[in-house]
Amino acid sequence: MRNRHFRHTALAVALATIASAAAAQSSVTLYGIIDAGVLYQNRAATGQGSQVQLATGGINPSIWGLKGNEDLGGGYDATFDLESHFASNNGTMIMGPGYQSEIFRRQANVGLTTPYGSLTLGRMYSPSLLAAITTEPRAFAENLSNLYTWAYNQLGAPGDALGAGTNPGNDVGVFIGNALQYANTLGPIWLGAAYSFGGVPGSMRKGNEISLGATYTGPVTASAAYQQIADSVTGENVSRLWSVGVAKSFGPVTGKLNYLDVIDHAVDGGDISHVTSISPGVTYQWSVANMAGLAGYYNRYRGSHDSTTRSLVLSNDYALSKRTVVYAQVAYVDAGAVGTIDPLESLKTSIVAGGTAPGEKTVLVNVGITHHF
């Protein structure tokens, strides 16, 4: 009995030691952002008077997620990331067009990190967006940036009724699902490439998506991005995007310049719209905690009509701590005229999440707080 008790004790100690060692080599982190603020427009998107609302995502999306890492030894790690998107003003989930349930709309992936780069499978941010974000004047802020020009020109998704086709892996050109991605950092150069499987029997072309991104970080920062999305029925491209940009710091001042060219195709191969954008911007670091920014957007639309939307954004972010920032931003938008192909057409040159009155001049003021956890 005494020997058996000793063996049981030794086994328990050994298992506890193994469990402790395993726990020491792996981790799971809960993370997120909550961003909310008051948004005033002197002219609502409908053109029917001014509008005041409590808006979610002034500079950051409101998200929560779980990410994990396990050290496999020899420079190898297993990783996963689950990330959900919600509206901070009412607590509801923010879902993509055509999807019925997306608990983890932004990310749901598992992968391996190796000395030769990382391999990720599932749903993730497109590498083209990750590259362009480094030189976009406002780093694709959740509101009052070129995020919506990027997104609304690559909208094709399940249930899309805009005439631009469907693609089960695409979510507004920002998130890419059903995907395999390889990324690597080689000195000052980062490279990312993702391929989304359409999963259509008999065709590797139908419903696929290709997303490429590259950045150089040195005396200057430079970015290059390319993305094309194919219709899941015809195999025709429903959008094609490319972007280049550059950023340079001079002490507390950083200048940025980005160029974007995106074509929204119809399923018959014709063009619905062709949008080009030139976006200069500058930030000034007043102090460790205080940063001001000025960005301009010249977005030209060619399609059912030919128009240009000109926007100017002045902002200031003040860090109360490493996790909490209060912000104020003012925008002036001189919107172009509206075409007639689809109800979202006017948003294709917009920097505003809910859009502005077409053919009108709009002033927006947004004051809010964002907290990281």
One-character DSSP codes across 200-230: -TT-SSTT-EEEEEEEEESSSEEEEEEEEEE
Please choose, from the candidates 69, 99, 70, 73, the residue with its C-alpha nearest in 3D space to the C-alpha of residue 85: 99
Segments of the chain scoring below 50 in pLDDT: 1-7, 9-24, 340-341
pLDDT of residue 353: 87
Dihedral of CA atoms 333, 337, 341, 345 in degrees, nearest 10, equals 0
pLDDT of residue 338: 65
pLDDT of residue 101: 72
pLDDT of residue 14: 46
Strands (E), 149-197: 170-171, 175-186, 189-196
pLDDT of residue 343: 54
pLDDT of residue 341: 44
Q: 33-372 has which fold? A: Porin (2.40.160)
pLDDT of residue 13: 44
Q: Are 211 and 186 in contact (CB under 8 A)?
A: no
Question: Half-sphere exposure of residue 20, counting CA atoms within 13 Å on the CB side?
Answer: 6
pLDDT of residue 354: 86
